[in-house]
Each structure stands twice: as structure tokens, then as C-alpha cells.
Amino acid sequence: MLASRLEEELASVTSSTSSEEWYIDNGASWHMMGIRECFSDYREEKMNFQITMGNKAKCTPVGRGTIVFQTETGERFRATNVLHVLGLGMNLLFMLQLQGKGHDIFFIKEKVYVKNVSWKKKVQIGIKSNRLYTLQIESPMALIGSHGDKDLNKLWHKRMGHLHHGALRIFRSTVIGVPDL
């Protein structure tokens, strides 16, 4: 009974948020994200420029920060200087910005790989789908608490829509990647 209530609460939280899907883009000017809660560090900032979207709409970023990603093999990489754009339906990972931070990017047979000098080999981060490359790695939402937050119980309580602390223990035992709470 508690597990089914937990599933209902999780469904209501995740269905009401913007997209966490990321597109690998070589034509954007910045990394861009629409969900404030996905940033591992963040600062509100008044921007003196606007971004013109594909439909010619103009958006003004409201802040910037860092998003942490984790590959299937456990390597983590950070996208820094990510712009927070309210209402953005598609999140963009800008390849040239990653390359400027020491990552090599490879497109091989409809797959995308990244290699950092500190890693032993390149790792797959994305695939081609409907003529676009999408990121296929751990959601940034799952990694936020793994970088020094002092009270993970409080963080996950808020992240899961103020889920009861007892239900958080069940959540951790049924969902892969949630830290010890």
C-alpha cells in the first residue's frame, strides 16, 4: 500500500515538470536548461542579452550554473556556465563549450562519445534519434545531491515534492542511484 502511494506521488511530481531530455547541439551558443532544480550550483543573474529560439521567439536567461552528468561507466563530467532559460522545452548541450573544457567529442556510427584526458577511454553519451543527437546518460536530477549537500534527507524530501521521510527510505530501496539517506 505504501509502495503504491509512493508510485502515485512520484508520478505526479515527474509528470508536472519540464523535460529533462538533452539534445547534443553544435549550433547553439550556450548550454541551456529549463529546470532550475537540475543545477548542482546556481546563481541568479541579470542577463543583458536574449536568445533567439528556432521559432524566432526570444528568451532572456535568468541565471547560470553547473549541471553534472554521469556516464554508464561511472565517469562524471560537468557542463559549466549553463544558462537557465525559463520555459525551455528542450535542453541543449553545446559541443564547442565541452571541447573548450578539455573534452574530446566523437560522432561514430550514429553514436556520440566523449573523452576526457583523465579517463582511460572514450564513453558513449548519446545516440542519433530522428535526425537529432540525444544524451543517453544519467539524469542530472539524480546527481545533484552527490556533490556536498549537507542534508540529503532534506534535499530529497524537497526534490520529491515533500514526500514523507518514511517513504523516502522505501524510495531509496526501490530506485537505483539514490544515495543513502
> Average pLDDT over the chain, rounded to whole?
76
C-alpha cell of residue 171: 524510495
**Cβ count near 152 (within 10 Å):** 18
Q: What residues make up the domain containing 75?
A: 20-150
pLDDT for residue 143: 53
Does this model's pTM top 0.85? My answer is no
Which residues contact residue 58 at a Cβ distance below 8 angstroms, ignoring those fewer than 6 apart?
Answer: 50, 51, 52
Q: How big is the chain, counted in residues?
A: 181
Pairing of strands 111-116, 123-129: antiparallel
* Whether 31 contacts 7, CB under 8 Å: no
71 within domain boundaries: yes
| Assigned domain for 5 exists | no
Identify whether the C-beta of residue 164 lies closer than 8 Å to the C-beta of residue 174: no
Span 3-54, pLDDT tens digits: 444 444 333 333 333 467 888 888 778 899 988 888 888 999 999 998 887 7
Burial call 16-39: b when 16+ CB within 10 Å, e when fewer: eebebebbbbeebebbbbbbeebb
C-alpha cell of residue 52: 533567439
CB 175 within 8 A of CB 159: no
pLDDT digits (tens, 9 = 90+) for 79-103: 899 999 987 878 899 988 888 888 8
φ and ψ at 7, to 5 degrees?
-60, -40
The answer as to whether 3 is a domain residue is: no
Please tell me the distance from the alpha carbon of residue 136 to that of residue 124, in angstroms, as a whole number.
8
Residue 51 lies in a domain: yes
Give the containing element (helix H, strand E) for 174: helix 165-174
The answer to the question of residue 55 being in a domain is yes
Residue 137, all three cell numbers: 546518460
Number of domains in the chain: 1
Whichever domain contains 26, its CATH number is: 2.40.70
Instruction: Indicate if the pLDDT at residue 104 is higher than 70.
Output: yes
